[in-house]
Amino acid sequence: MRLMRIGEVGRERPVVLVGEDAIVDMSDIIQDYDEEFFASGGLATLADLVADRHDQRRPLGDERVGSPIARPHQILCVGLNYSDHAAETGAEVPPEPVLFSKSPNTIVGPYDQIRIPRGAQKTDWEVELGVVLGKRASYLDSPAAAREAIAGFVLVNDVSEREFQLERSGQWLKGKSAETFNPAGPWLVTPDEFDDVSNLSMWLDVNGERRQTGSTSTMVFDPYVIVHYISQFLVLEPGDLINTGTPPGVGLGMKPPTYLKPGDIVELGIDGLGTQRQVVVAPR
């Protein structure tokens, strides 16, 4: 299944995408795709609910598409998780996943604007595979057990302000957590839709020029290893989002480094997870 949320900011409604451009509105029986929905086993019954409404399909139309999940309890990220990205930054491949957090209120829709923060000059792009938790996970026994804890996968742009992240002391949080810094969607795809998420092509363009071309096959730690690993240190809640790292081609790795400016257009995609398009705008 492909889960979507559509509507004005703060008033998104849960729907299910059927086929290429038809939706079934679920908002009369499901409040939102949020922690409560996933924790209560909502995914297990959703397919039957949608099937019962086959005669209620309608075109998606031009209504705004929001993030496919409501604001999560937490957003966690994995750094340097692609061997070829680590090489472009001059960093060694880490022996364990490099973890950092991102403010949950960074999450926006896939076609919403990216707003450069005040005082920022090095705002960067990162196409990533996002993992959404479907149940509470703590001290999972194995990566195989992690498979059962995953609700689905989503395309994300892990936008970063490199000066704040790398040159302003402290941890990476403040370089990752400006408003609009986590476009997600257009849909959440359940695991049964994929034969193998470890071999998905991914790409990102800026102003029509290809910047990132990669594949999840060069991940150092796959999504199941990541979820299992994180569960050994903290409790993952239903609806939590994990950004699993980016392939090479970020602005930081270019020679010379190149960053986003107002008016730029960022487009990105991952096989099976759809595409995004964002216009970069000036600080408030």
Three-state DSSP string of the chain: CEEEEECCCCCCEEEEEECCCEEEECCCCCCCCCHHHHHCCHHHHHHHHHHCCHHHCEECCCCCECCCCCCCCCEEEEECCEHHHHHHHCCCCCCCCEEEEECHHHEECCCCCEECCCCCCCEECCEEEEEEECCCECCCCCHHHHHCCEEEEEEEECCEEHHHHHHCCCCCHHHHCCCCCEEECCCEECHHHCCCHHHCEEEEEECCEEEEEEEHHHECCCHHHHHHHHCCCCCECCCCEEECCCCCCCHHHCCCCCCCCCCCEEEEEECCCEEEEEEEECCC
47-56, 77-86, 142-151 — most confident range = 142-151
- Could you tell me the residue range of the domain that residue 36 belongs to? 2-59
66 domain-assigned: no
Query: Taking 90 as the threshold, does the pLDDT of residue 170 lie above it?
Result: no
Number of domains in the chain: 2
120 domain-assigned: yes
**How high is the pLDDT of residue 83?**
80
Answer yes or no: do 30 and 166 share one domain.
Answer: no
**How high is the pLDDT of residue 169?**
79
Answer yes or no: do 28 and 136 share one domain.
Answer: no
Answer yes or no: do 271 and 242 share one domain.
Answer: yes
69 domain-assigned: no
- Per residue in 85-128, pLDDT (tens digit) is 667 767 678 899 999 999 999 999 999 999 999 999 999 999 99
Answer yes or no: do 21 and 100 share one domain.
Answer: no
**Mean pLDDT across the stretch 154-171?**
90
**How high is the pLDDT of residue 196?**
87
**How high is the pLDDT of residue 86?**
67
**Mean pLDDT across the stretch 146-173?**
92
The mean pLDDT of the chain is 94
Confidence of residue 281 (pLDDT cuts 50, 70, 90): very high
Answer yes or no: do 199 and 80 share one domain.
Answer: yes
Of the chain, the percentage scoring pLDDT greater than 90 comes to 88
139 domain-assigned: yes
68 domain-assigned: no
227 domain-assigned: yes
Query: Taking 90 as the threshold, does the pLDDT of residue 195 lie above it?
Result: no
pTM of the model: 0.96
Answer yes or no: do 195 and 271 share one domain.
Answer: yes
Answer yes or no: do 54 and 101 share one domain.
Answer: no
230 domain-assigned: yes
268 domain-assigned: yes
**How high is the pLDDT of residue 165?**
87
